[in-house]
Amino acid sequence: MEYLHFCNTQREEITEENLKKISNLDIDYSPLYSKNLSFNHLNKIYDFIHFPKLIQRLCVKHKINLIISRGAPAGSLAFLATKKNKIPFVVESFEPHADYMKAAGQWKSYGLKYLFQKHWEAQQKKYAKAVITVAENYRNCLIEEGVNKGKIFVAPCAVDQNIFYKDIGLRKKIRLELNIPDNAVVGVYAGKFGGLYLEEKAFQIFSKAFEEIKDFHLLLLTNTDSNWLNEMISQYNLPSNRIYIKFVSYNEVNNYLNAADFAFALYKINIVSQYLSPVKIGEYWACGLAAYITQNLGDEMHWIEEKKLGVILDGNEQNIFNNLMDFSSQEIIRNGIEIRSIEKVSQVYKQILN
């Protein structure tokens, strides 16, 4: 008999709503609850001792013969849980998580979290049956490191076309709601500022858009502190009456993307940026929006130039928004869906499981 058993780490009790969603998937579910000790480092140490033992017991109880973990931190638990029982494990969305956290300013290179995660990532590269990266760039990096290329697969972060799609009716509805004229040019930015994302420099780019595009309006879908946002708007003398700040649920993001003509994905250039696969870019493309991205960003920097899916910003260009009319919304949707299709992920799993 074949079946899936799902477990995840929980810092709090799972809500009835989420429990119902999981039960509707017809899979076995076992949450792994943290002790939530007051001292964070002690709590992490406890988690990485306790959780692998719980996973080992689940493997015995349910006769598990393959573990699939999502992300390098979960891969660390899978590695620790399989050291004795030798059950094969796969790590999906494998990325240099320790360096990711360091680049985001969350971890220090001499910190315990960084050192342990870095060590466990090395063990995953060595012992995982397969690793699935989200970018071809990182696959190439792993091959250069000496990881067996036969066990490295690539599956970019996929986008569900049933959730993100172009809809003229939504465009009219949201523009009416925000009081944006039909003929205005709207740029949208979705996500936070800081960490891996640009902060003040993002507003320099927004300022150029206001300078170069007649009747430009900016839509910020973010939960970033409003005081800081207003400070940036004031500092760069941006027209606040043409800037709309909204923080909406995931289910509503598609509505607001449809109100836009193009979109921004503004990341800091660092050691990990070329290994990313920002899901927001796939969501932009699914809605037919050209993506204005920063340099050295995932495989997207290649696709954008080859398929005409947007613009790569180098920080020094002038008149960067003059070519907005050169993009075909339908071509962006067609190529974007092909690049970020769920079918691609499905094909990778079929290869691994076969």
220-262 pLDDT per residue, tens:
999 999 999 999 999 999 999 999 999 999 999 999 999 999 9
Mean pLDDT of 42-67: 89
pLDDT > 80? residue 314: no
Beta-strand (E) ranges in 194-289? Answer: 216-221, 243-246, 262-265
Name the one residue in this structure whose structure tokens are 């949201």.
Answer: 174
Mean pLDDT of 274-282: 96
218: three-class secondary structure by DSSP? strand
Nearest in space to 313 (alpha carbons), one of 299, 295, 338: 295
- CA-based angle 300:305:309, to the nearest 5? 70
Residue 117 in contact with residue 138, Cβ under 8 Å? no
Confidence of residue 325 (pLDDT cuts 50, 70, 90): confident
The pLDDT tens digits of the residues spanning 79-116 come to 999 998 889 999 999 999 999 999 999 999 999 999 99
Burial 201-212 (b: 16+ CB within 10 A, else e): ebbebbbbbbee
The pLDDT tens digits of the residues spanning 280-289 come to 999 999 999 9
Question: 290 forms bridges with which residues in the sheet?
Answer: 262
At position 315, the amino acid (one-letter code) is G
Q: Alpha-carbon distance 145 to 147, whole Å?
A: 6
Beta-strand (E) ranges in the chain? Answer: 5-6, 9-10, 28-29, 32-33, 67-70, 89-92, 130-133, 152-154, 185-190, 216-221, 243-246, 262-265, 290-294, 310-313
Mean pLDDT of 308-313: 93
Q: Alpha-carbon distance 95 to 100, whole Å?
A: 8
Which pLDDT does position 265 carry in this prediction? 97
Radius of gyration of the CA atoms of the chain, in A = 22
Number of C-beta neighbours around residue 272 at 10 A: 22
Confidence of residue 165 (pLDDT cuts 50, 70, 90): very high
Q: What are the residue ranges of helices labelled H in 236-278? A: 250-257
Which pLDDT does position 235 carry in this prediction? 97
Number of C-beta neighbours around residue 143 at 10 A: 12
Residue 151 burial (10 A CB sphere; 0-12, 13-18, 19+): middle
Tokens of 36: 């939530």
Which stretch of 29-38, 109-118, 141-150, 222-231 has the lowest confidence by average pLDDT?
A: 29-38
DSSP 135: -
Mean pLDDT of 291-297: 95
Measured CA to CA in angstroms, residue 340 lies from 192, 260, 305, 343 at distances of: 22, 20, 16, 9
